[in-house]
Chain A
Amino acid sequence: MILLQLAADGLLLGAVYALFSSGLTLIWGMMNVINFAHGDFVMLAMYVAFFAFTLLKIGPIFFVPLAAVALFCLGVLVYVALVRHVMRGPMLAQILSTFGLALFLRYAALWAFSANFVSLPDNLVGGVYQLGGIRLSASHLLAGGMALVLTLGMHLLLTRTDLGSRMLAVSEDRVAAALVGIRAERMQALAWGLGAAATGVAGGLIALFFYVSPEVGNAFTLLAFVTVCLGGFGSVPGALIAGLLIGVIESFSAYWLGPATKDVIVFALFVVLLWVRPQGLLGRA
């Protein structure tokens, strides 16, 4: 029974990992740029949620969309002001640009909000459900469920809509897409917006049950890397499966080996993966 409980907890958390990682994989798939600030986007979204609740007194129904909108704007801004100019430049500039952004966001947050851990009240989304002996807290259930739905939604948006087709066209071949009248710049800005909005929703949801501090971003960035790498760079369904898997791996290793080692397992998994199968589980070589 404990195994089932661990699996359920892991899957719910993993769905949230899948959601913000799908943002990273979307950005990578569209323009072969890695966002080293991805976890720090999640961190900012968590602060948006926290301050929306404490200052504006609004609940999750409003602050999760608010975080999504705020991060969407940030994503578009980052693309327009920074990434657009470096993406065809030297590799050094591509890598340094978002790494510098990560540093800036993390330490600006440290400066503005202090290093103290803050958190939303536990009972904001209260209640625990019993399901055949498994205890599921409402906040985890809400976060996991919403993340699952939105990640699937992202996949459908990319594969089943006109907009998604246009975005995929740009990712296949910018010039050819431009020739048939697709505005590549706009699609790429949109990809950054959507990718960041995914971190916005995920951050708002994680804030329901996780502490907020400027430093949390680093771990989320690495988690997103592992997820995207495991699922295959550029694949949203891959990110979904990988996210769920990593949630479960984390949950089991925290139980068997102690909470301190759960990151060790996941990061080590990442290094080994890059070593043996850089294209991921579902990716093509």
Chain B
Amino acid sequence: MRFSLRRALIAIALLLAIAPVLTQDAFYQRIAALVVLAAISASAWNVIGGYAGQVSFGHSVYFGIGGYAALLAFTKLGLPPIAGAPLGILASFVLSAIVGLPSFRLRGHYFSMATIAIAALAELLVTNWGYVGGAIGLMGPATPRSPADLLFRSPLPYYAIFLVVLAALLILTWRMERSRMGFYLRAIGSGEPAAESLGVPVRRYKLYALFISGAFTALAGSLYAVMIGFIDPDSGFGILVSVNMVVMAALGGAGTLFGPLVGAIILVPLEETTNAMLGGGGTGAAYVAYGVIIMLIARFSPGGLAQFVPRIAARKTERAA
């Protein structure tokens, strides 16, 4: 029974993974690419926000850094945008070290408040910084100068690239889950003072988690900028960028391997279709719904949808016990 369920799930996953190749409709292909992209940043958030239980509302800063690094590499250095991705990841490490060390003295509510403030600060600074385009933002190449510009008319190549990155992140997370680090992070997540008293090097491991989380979020930002070809303070550093990661991870199940992906599969198509139907005003409607979803999760099912999958739920309680 257990095996057949697992096989069925794998079959469904494979089917979903190749579905965009089978359809000819660019609209659905684009949505599929966006689902995977959102799943990357939500899964990256999950490492620190889910496993380690440090609820960050400031991950937009990493996303923005990645996006800006890509388009700055193009506008300032004339490089293909993707060449900025390593720079963005490097910058994310520096940021993690600067921000992580002090703010990790803070736990729970204090940490979340600090991350909101840092994100608001970053958005303000970028908006008022003319060199990086100020409030207007940055544009990518209009026409491909070489294949390295990764400028495709069809969403499919983006879908393939994003899928590779997501797979890499999920494999890394899966290995982490089973390693010493996974146990440390879950111990930190379920109670920091207790973890510390048991000898878990709390701050060091939180910092490791933040390094991984921030680097992949920055990479997601770069990939976003490569595909969309435009970034401004709002789409890079806006609070809603963080909200997307949080709501997707929390809906699917924060601290579970596939939770963020499940959340993205549910929410991205929902948001895209409301946007397509309602136009610009749709954004507001989607976020009203997100607010309600977040409240419902907090009130009735803090484990997200994963809580309703008996096997995962059982494993979680084993851990807690």
Which residues of B in the span 298-314 have a Cβ within 8 Å of any Cβ on A?
Answer: 298-299, 302
Q: How far is the CA of A268 from the CA of B299 in the complex (A)?
A: 33
**A 30-55 to B, binary, CB cutoff 8 A, 1 in contact else 0:** 00111010000000000000000000
Q: How far is the CA of A105 from the CA of B298 in the complex (A)?
A: 16
What residues on B are CB-neighbors of A95 within 8 Å? 55, 108-109, 112
Q: What are 29 residue pairs bridging A and B, where the CB atoms are less than 8 Å apart in the complex?
A: A32-B109, A34-B112, A36-B112, A90-B302, A91-B53, A92-B53, A92-B302, A94-B109, A95-B108, A96-B246, A96-B302, A97-B294, A99-B294, A100-B293, A100-B297, A103-B294, A104-B295, A111-B284, A111-B288, A218-B120, A225-B117, A260-B124, A261-B128, A264-B124, A264-B128, A268-B121, A274-B110, A275-B102, A275-B105
Instruction: Flag the segment in A81-89, A178-186, A190-198, A243-251 that touches B.
Output: A81-89
- Say yes or no: A104 contacts B292, CB within 8 Å: yes
A271 within 8 A of B: yes
- Say yes or no: A102 contacts B299, CB within 8 Å: no
Total cross-chain contacts (CB, 8 A): 137
Q: How far is the CA of A264 from the CA of B110 in the complex (A)?
A: 19
A69 vs chain B, min Cβ distance (A): 24
Q: How far is the CA of A93 from the CA of B255 in the complex (A)?
A: 13
A255 within 8 A of B: no
Interface residues on A, range: 35 or more
Given contacts A82-B295, A99-B294, A103-B287, contact A92 B55 (CB under 8 A): yes
Give the number of chain B interface residues (Cβ < 8 Å): 41
Extra contacts, 17 of them, besides A103-B243, A107-B290, A274-B114 (Cβ < 8 A), are A82-B298, A85-B299, A93-B297, A94-B298, A96-B55, A100-B290, A101-B291, A107-B288, A111-B284, A111-B288, A222-B120, A261-B128, A263-B120, A267-B117, A267-B120, A270-B114, A274-B117
What residues on B are CB-neighbors of A229 within 8 Å? 113
B125 within 8 A of A: yes
Which residues of B in the span 92-129 have a Cβ within 8 Å of any Cβ on A?
Answer: 102-103, 105-106, 108-110, 112-114, 116-118, 120-121, 124-125, 128
What residues on A are CB-neighbors of B53 within 8 Å? 90-92
A278 within 8 A of B: yes
Which residues of A in the span 194-244 have a Cβ within 8 Å of any Cβ on B?
Answer: 218, 221-222, 225-226, 229
Using CB atoms, name the residue of chain B closest to A214. B284
Q: How far is the CA of A89 from the CA of B320 in the complex (A)?
A: 13
What residues on B are CB-neighbors of A36 within 8 Å? 112, 116
- Say yes or no: A105 contacts B108, CB within 8 Å: no
B6 vs chain A, min Cβ distance (A): 27
- Say yes or no: A110 contacts B117, CB within 8 Å: no
B285 within 8 A of A: yes
- Say yes or no: B117 contacts A102, CB within 8 Å: no
- Say yes or no: A102 contacts B291, CB within 8 Å: yes
Given contacts A100-B291, A103-B243, contact A275 B103 (CB under 8 A): yes
What residues on A are CB-neighbors of B124 within 8 Å? 260, 263-264, 267
Which residues of A in the span 96-129 have a Cβ within 8 Å of any Cβ on B?
Answer: 96-97, 99-108, 110-111
- Say yes or no: A271 contacts B55, CB within 8 Å: no
What residues on A are CB-neighbors of B128 within 8 Å? 260-261, 264
Using CB atoms, name the residue of chain A closest to B128. A260
Q: A residues touching B (Cβ–Cβ < 8 Å)?
A: 32-34, 36, 82, 85-86, 89-97, 99-108, 110-111, 218, 221-222, 225-226, 229, 260-261, 263-264, 267-268, 270-271, 274-275, 278
- Say yes or no: A97 contacts B295, CB within 8 Å: yes
- Say yes or no: B239 contacts A218, CB within 8 Å: yes
- Say yes or no: B117 contacts A103, CB within 8 Å: no
Of the residues A89, A90, A274, contact of B103 by C-beta under 8 Å: A274
- Say yes or no: B113 contacts A96, CB within 8 Å: no
B162 within 8 A of A: no
Q: How far is the CA of A226 from the CA of B302 in the complex (A)?
A: 28
Q: How far is the CA of A260 from the CA of B128 in the complex (A)?
A: 8
B224 within 8 A of A: no
Q: Which of B53, B57, B284, B292: most chain A Cβ within 10 A? A: B284
B192 vs chain A, min Cβ distance (A): 9
What residues on B are CB-neighbors of A94 within 8 Å? 108-109, 298
- A-B pairs with the 7 shortest C-beta distances? A104-B291, A100-B294, A103-B291, A97-B298, A100-B295, A93-B302, A107-B287
Q: How far is the CA of A110 from the CA of B57 in the complex (A)?
A: 21
Q: How far is the CA of A105 from the CA of B126 in the complex (A)?
A: 27
What residues on B are CB-neighbors of A85 within 8 Å? 299
Using CB atoms, name the residue of chain B closest to A275. B102
Q: How far is the CA of A103 from the CA of B292 in the complex (A)?
A: 8
Which residues of B in the span 160-181 have a Cβ within 8 Å of any Cβ on A?
Answer: none
**B 271-301 to A, binary, CB cutoff 8 A, 1 in contact else 0:** 0000000000100110110111111011100
Q: How far is the CA of A274 from the CA of B287 in the complex (A)?
A: 29
B254 within 8 A of A: yes
B223 within 8 A of A: no
B245 within 8 A of A: no
- Say yes or no: B55 contacts A91, CB within 8 Å: yes
Given contacts A107-B284, A218-B120, A274-B113, contact A96 B106 (CB under 8 A): no
What residues on B are CB-neighbors of A96 within 8 Å? 55, 246, 250, 294-295, 297-298, 302
A125 vs chain B, min Cβ distance (A): 31
What residues on A are CB-neighbors of B293 within 8 Å? 100
Given contacts A91-B108, A111-B285, contact A270 B117 (CB under 8 A): yes
